[in-house]
Amino acid sequence: MLNKYKIMKAQIVLDILDEALANDDEKMDCYLQMYCNGREQGYTVFNWDNNVMVSFSENRNSDQIVVYVGPCNPLDTLSLEQFKNAKYFECNAYPEAANWVYQCLRTKILKEEHKKTRKAR
């Protein structure tokens, strides 16, 4: 038997998100890849048109769902800012987490705004 426990929460969020994207009138062009950061294993979805990348998984320290959002990165890595601004959802809040990911993918992140934010720190 193949144990999929570590990826299960992310997979449920992805399935709900996939349905929302399929029904989206704007037909966003998104790309999917695996996300792994130690004990956090899930997915990263990219919307290059809006310069947004969203990673989600089960949180390493709890059974909550964690979502990281930020500008697309050619190295596909998360920044310290993305980790600090993580959004957490209760362990069974799959529709809420998927909706948050969907809304984030629809939001345009301007490269200039991100640079200003980084310089302000």
Least Cα distance to 54 among 62, 40, 66, 39 occurs for 66
Assigned domain for 40 exists = yes
What pLDDT sits at residue 80?
87
Please indicate whether residue 85 or residue 115 has the higher confidence score (pLDDT).
85
Stretch among 15-19, 70-74, 98-102 having the lowest mean pLDDT? 70-74
Assigned domain for 60 exists = yes
User: Angle at Cα 98 formed by Cα 69 and Cα 101, nearest 5°?
Assistant: 20
What is residue 81's three-state secondary structure?
helix
- Domain of residue 91 covers 5-115
Average confidence (pLDDT) over 61-76: 89
What pLDDT sits at residue 111?
59
The total of structural domains in the chain comes to 1
What's the whole-model pTM score? Answer: 0.85
Assigned domain for 88 exists = yes
Assigned domain for 120 exists = no
Assigned domain for 90 exists = yes
Count CB neighbours of 89 within 10 A: 21
For residue 117, how far is the Cα from the chain centroid?
20
